Structure 1
Amino acid sequence: MRRTSSKYVRHSDEGELLWLRPPTRSGHVFIKVDPTNTSSARMAMGTQQVEVGGRIPVHRHDSQDEILFVYAGQGTVIVGDERAQFKAGTTVFIPQGVWHGVENTSDEPLQVVWVVSPPGLEAMFRDIGTPPGEEAKSLTPEEFAAVAERHGMRVKSH
Structure 2
Amino acid sequence: MSGVSLEAEEGTSGMARSSAYKLDAGQGERLRFSGADFLVKAAADTTGGAFSIVEEIDPLDTPLHRHANEDEFFYVIEGEHVFRCGDQEFRVGPGGAMFAPRGVPHAHKRVVPRTGRFLTMTSPAGFEGFFRELSAAEASGAAMPEAYAAVSRKYGIDWL
2:9 corresponds to 1:3: no
> Which residue does 2:86 correspond to in 1?
80
Percent same amino acid among aligned pairs?
23
TM-superposed deviation, 1:17: 0.7
Q: 1:31 aligns with which of 19, 36, 40?
A: 40
> Which residue does 1:99 correspond to in 2?
105
- Bigger helix fraction: 2
**2:86–2:104 CA contact under 8 A, matched in 1:** yes
**1:129–1:137 CA contact under 8 A, matched in 2:** no
TM-superposed deviation, 1:56: 1.8
> Which residue does 2:14 correspond to in 1?
none
Structure index of larger Rg: 2
Structure 1 unaligned segments of length 5 or more: list them: none
Q: 1:152 aligns with which of 153, 156, 159?
A: 156
TM-superposed deviation, 1:115: 0.7
**1:4–1:10 CA contact under 8 A, matched in 2:** yes
Question: How many residue pairs end up in the alignment?
Answer: 145
> Which residue does 1:42 correspond to in 2?
50
CA deviations 1:111-152 (Å, max 9, x no partner) are 010111111210111110149xx5665512x54133112112
Is the partner of 2:69 in helix, strand or coil?
coil
Structure 2 unaligned segments of length 5 or more: list them: 6-19
Give the alignment's Cα RMSD to 1 decimal: 2.2
2:75 corresponds to 1:66: no
**1:128–1:137 CA contact under 8 A, matched in 2:** no
State how far apart, in whole Å, the 1-side matches of 2:133 and 2:58 are. 18
Structure number with greater CO (CA < 8 Å, separation at least 6) is 1
TM-score, normalisation: structure 2? 0.80
TM-score, normalisation: structure 1? 0.80
TM-superposed deviation, 1:49: 1.8
1:144 is aligned with what amino acid?
Y
Q: 1:16 aligns with which of 29, 41, 63?
A: 29
